[in-house]
Chains A and B, each alone.
Chain A
Amino acid sequence: DAKTTQPTSMDCAEGRAANLPCNHSTISGNEYVYWYRQIHSQGPQYIIHGLKNNETNEMASLIITEDRKSSTLILPHATLRDTAVYYCIVRVANNFNKFYFGSGTKLNVKP
């Protein structure tokens, strides 16, 4: 079962930062937040994950609130190729053998 809530869709102008929110108010202390994206019907692509500290890699930044009840994925300079469905996933402590994909957020990057 999903432990996350995401908006159904968002728009972002090309070249601007895309900030994708995710609520996970029931997250436990040792559960990680993961972000994947899916472009068209391609395989899910790993973006980033974190526990409580903010994380950054070449693709994105992950900001996790101090209470860990929500997080934001930031794509600093969105391009048209970033148009995709973005999934925020909490990897649960008692069922960490799999990833549960909810409905995600459809990000539309517009010229």
Chain B
Amino acid sequence: EPEVTQTPSHQVTQMGQEVILRCVPISNHLYFYWYRQILGQKVEFLVSFYNNEISEKSEIFDDQFSVERPDGSNFTLKIRSTKLEDSAMYFCASSEGSDMNTEAFFGQGTRLTVV
């Protein structure tokens, strides 16, 4: 069964460093998303991406964050200068369409720890 894959599963980085989280969405999907979940808190929407541009972003997704689809398969989230409060699980998701009758599928996440 097709699935969204994320790498790495766990990333430890020093405060101020740049990190890139990688995702391979399901192959025929056109819409891509990043969510995050701080330990013990809710899953929060960060950004949606379609046709090589951001469709929507939340207030969390500030100038420190960027997304890219560098080739036909990968979808990346970059945090330019990490802060302690960026420590969280980051989930990538993809969907075939963006209409309300289309489900999104999530990856298993990358645990980012900023020290």
Contact = CB atoms under 8 A, between A and B. Distances in A.
A71 B92 CA distance: 28
Contacts of A96: 98-100
Interface stretch (A3-11, A43-51, A73-81): A43-51
B94 to A, nearest CB: 11
Interface of B is mostly: strand
Interface stretch (B13-21, B37-45, B75-83): B37-45
Interface residues of A, number: 25
Band of interface residues on B? 20 to 34
Given A30-B100, A32-B100, A91-B100, A98 B33 contact: yes
Interface of B: 4, 6, 33, 35, 37, 39, 42-45, 48, 55-56, 89, 91, 93, 98-101, 103-109, 111
Interface of A: 30-32, 34, 36, 38, 41-46, 49, 51, 87, 91, 93, 96-103
